[in-house]
Amino acid sequence: MSHEYRKNPEAVSRLSPEQYRVTQEAETEAPFDNAYWDNKEPGIYVDVVSGEPLFASVNKYDSGTGWPTFTRPIERKNVVEIPDESLGVVRTEVRSAHGDSHLGHVFDDGPVETGGLRYCMNSAALRFVRRDDLEREGYGEYRTILEHPDGEKKR
């Protein structure tokens, strides 16, 4: 199944002030005071603006930072990594490839056994789709990811 994901102006117009600030102005939400930092339900996380699939619950872990954190994206083609020196230090910003939403940052201090990456994301940039809702919302092809420990879509 092929989907065409893009920045949806209507979705942008419906963003809360916090979602807009994070996704469109590359700001960061408060730690431990956001929707998904401690969500443990099975499902996937999609871009709040474009709907493109970004991360899966099987790759989520508690990094202790207060933000939803993942070891890898569902499909690498849906994330773009850009050098970010905005705070005077070199970091790597993560944006959605099709929606161009600021999602957060990726660091190289994640669990070594899963590749060593820590994708530290903003809940405000994400929409969670529960496992039981995947088919109904058009993400049925991602259901198998939740059943496999590596959590990356296979082609």
Per-residue pLDDT tens over the stretch 18-49:
999 999 999 999 999 999 999 999 999 999 99
pLDDT of residue 153: 56
Task: Specify the CATH number for 9-131+140-146; select among 2.102.10.10, 2.170.150.20, 2.40.50.140, 3.20.20.80.
Answer: 2.170.150.20
Residue 5 annotated to the active site: no
Q: Which of 117, 120, 125, 145 is catalytic?
A: 120
Closest by CA to 70, choosing from 42, 95, 106, is 106
Question: What pTM does this model have?
Answer: 0.92
pLDDT of residue 152: 55
Tens of pLDDT, residues 5-26? 888 888 999 999 999 999 999 9
Tens of pLDDT, residues 89-126? 888 999 999 999 999 999 999 999 999 999 999 999 99
Q: Characterize 86-125 residue by residue with b for buried, 16 or more Cβ atoms within 10 angstroms of its Cβ, and e for exposed.
A: eeeeebebbbbbbbebbbbbbbeebeeebeebbbbbbbbb
**Residue 148 pLDDT greater than 90, yes or no:** no
**Residue 138 pLDDT greater than 50, yes or no:** yes
* SS3 at position 38: coil
pLDDT bracket for residue 155 (50, 70, 90): very low
